[in-house]
Structure formats: structure tokens, C-alpha cells
Structure 1
Amino acid sequence: MEAFKLVNFKNEYNTNMPIVRSIEGSECEAVCRSLFRSWHVNTLEEFFEKEEQEFVLLDDINAEDEDFDWNKVFNSIGIPVPNEVFINFERFNSIDVFLFKDFCKYFDDIWYPAADDIEVFDASFNWIVSVKHYGAVHYAKI
């Protein structure tokens, strides 16, 4: 996650962002390899191409909506709510892990409209939810 978001969070809540852990370097590469293997892709380009072509748009859900609710997202696509979620902000250079409840509570502090495209997944690698910078929510399940 970008440093300015951590600073903004600290200024607003007078505490640190509740990230369980940040995954970087070789650990991040290992997570990416596992994710890519599960999704039958070999490169970032193949992954993002698959995302663009095969992920399903949730027409009635937009992350910019005032009443956006991650529980509603998971219910609508039939994914059990996980304990932890992995958040990729860019090109899988680093991944932040949050407790799902904290991710939901602080989503507006994590995802910035107009700036962020994120992928949300868990350690099973069986599903991915993508939130585009304009609020569109897409998903895929294995």
C-alpha cells in the first residue's frame, strides 16, 4: 500500500492501518506463482488479459456507491466470507493482507476511487474480485 494512505489513516484514526502483514519480495513472488498456477496463466500480462476477458461484471454493484457492502458482493457471487483477504494494488509487487472485517470497515481508506485498481483474493486462490478505479466490480471463481 502506498505510504500516503498509511499517513492519511494515522492522521484520521490516530492509529496504524490494521494490516495483518505486507507480502513483498520472494514471498510475494511465491504467492503470485501459486495464484498464476491456479488460474492457468504464466505472466502478469496473461493474468490481466484473463481478467479483462473472463471476469464477470456485477452490474448492480459499484464500489463508489454510498451503500457499497463487501458482504453483499460475496453473497451475490456465492463466495464464503474469508477470515483474511489479500489485496493487490498494482502489479503484484506487494500484497497487503487484512482481516476481512477490517478490510470492510476501512475499505474507503484502502481503495481510492479514480486512482486504484485492486484485486482481492484469499489463500485458496479459488476466487478473485477485482475493483476498477471507476468502481466497477468484476469477479471470477475456479
Structure 2
Amino acid sequence: MEQIKIDNFIKEHPGSSFPNYIHLEDKICADISLSILKKLNLISTTDDLMLVNEVDKLGDICDVVISDDENFNLKNTLSSLGVNYSKNVYINWYRYDDIDKMKIDDLINYFDDIWYLGSDDIDIFDESLTWIVSITHFGQVNFLKI
């Protein structure tokens, strides 16, 4: 998680702490990346950029587009996609080499404090690795069911 997000959260929520998260070690990120590659039958390569591009290519564009409108609700979006998620989810910030783990409830409740329109491209998934929801910096939502 970028420090600026934590700093901005503290400014906007005086007296509150930023939601707990764990930044995953490189080895764990590599294991997750390899597991996704295997599930997508792309094991012949270990190129992280290729994985990002394949997830983007294989995913379906959803009707949901996030804008400055505060009506976006991640929980409703996941529900409408038929996603069964576990208590914790992973947030990929780059090429599956910069991943944070946090409670889904915290991500849902503080989504606007975690994902920034205009700058963040993220992938959200859980330990089942059966789905990936990607959200682009311009608010497009893509869904990949694995």
C-alpha cells in the first residue's frame, strides 16, 4: 500500500487507523503468479507483464464503470458478477509482484480510500484463484472467471 494512501486516509478519517493489510513478500507473490499462470494454462512463460495482459484479454468488460459518482459499491458489483469471495482478498497493484492482502469488508468499506480513480489499475482476487476482478485507472471493471 502506498504511504500516500495511508496519509490521506488519516487526514480524511481523523482518529481512525488505516485498515489492516499485509504486503506480501516477493516469494509469495511469485507463487500466486505461478498458480494463476497454471490455472490459465500459460505455464510456458513466467513473464509478469504477459500475465497482466492475458488476464486483461481473457476478462469480460462489465457494464459497471466507476466514476466520481459515489454510488459505486464493490460488494454489489461482486455480487452481480456471482463472485463468492472469502474473508480476505488480494489486491494486485502491478504485475503480480506487488500484492497486498486485506479483509474484503475493509476493501468494500474503504474502497475510495484504497483505489484512486485516474491512477490505480488493480486486480482483486481471493485464495481460491477462481476469479479476478480488474479495475482500471479510468474505472472500467473487467471480470475473469477461471
Could you tell me the TM-score, scaled by structure 2's length? 0.87
Larger strand proportion of the pair: 1
CA drift of 1:27 comes to 2.0
Between 44-53 and 21-30, report the one with greater CA deviation. Answer: 44-53
- Counterpart CA distance in 1 for 2:127 and 2:111 is 20
Match of 1:22 in 2: 23
State the alpha-carbon separation in 2 of the partners of residues 39 and 16 from structure 1: 38
| Residue identity matched to 2:130 | N
Q: Residue 7 of structure 2 aligns with which residue? A: 7
Alignment root-mean-square deviation, CA: 1.6
SS of residue in 1 equivalent to 2:24: strand
Q: Tell me if structure 2 keeps the 8 A contact 1:71–1:81.
A: no
Shift of 1:63: 2.3
SS in structure 1 at match of 2:113: helix
Q: Answer yes or no: is the 8 Å Cα contact 2:93–2:99 preserved in 1.
A: yes
Residue in structure 2 matching 1:63, options 57, 61, 66: 66
Q: C-alpha offsets along residues 11-66 of structure 1, whole Å, 9 cap, x if unaligned?
A: 2223332133110222222222222222223322321222232210112x122242
What is the distance in 2 between the residues matched to 1:68 and 1:55? 20
Say whether residues 1:35 and 2:36 are aligned partners: yes
Q: Determine if contact 2:33/2:48 at 8 Å carries over to the other structure.
A: no
Gaps of 5+ in 1: none
Question: Quick check: 1:89–1:116 contact (8 Å CA) kept in 2?
Answer: yes
Count of aligned pairs: 141
Residue 90 of structure 1: aligned partner: 94
Distance between the aligned counterparts of 1:81 and 1:71, measured in 2? 10
TM-score (norm 1): 0.89
Find the aligned partners of 2:8 and 2:87 in 1 and give their Cα distance. 25
CA contact (8 A) 2:49 2:95 kept: no
Change (3 A) 1:52 1:20: closer
Identity %: 32
The 2-side partners of 1:28 and 1:81 are apart by 19
State the alpha-carbon separation in 2 of the partners of residues 89 and 131 from structure 1: 10
Corresponding residue of 1:77: 81
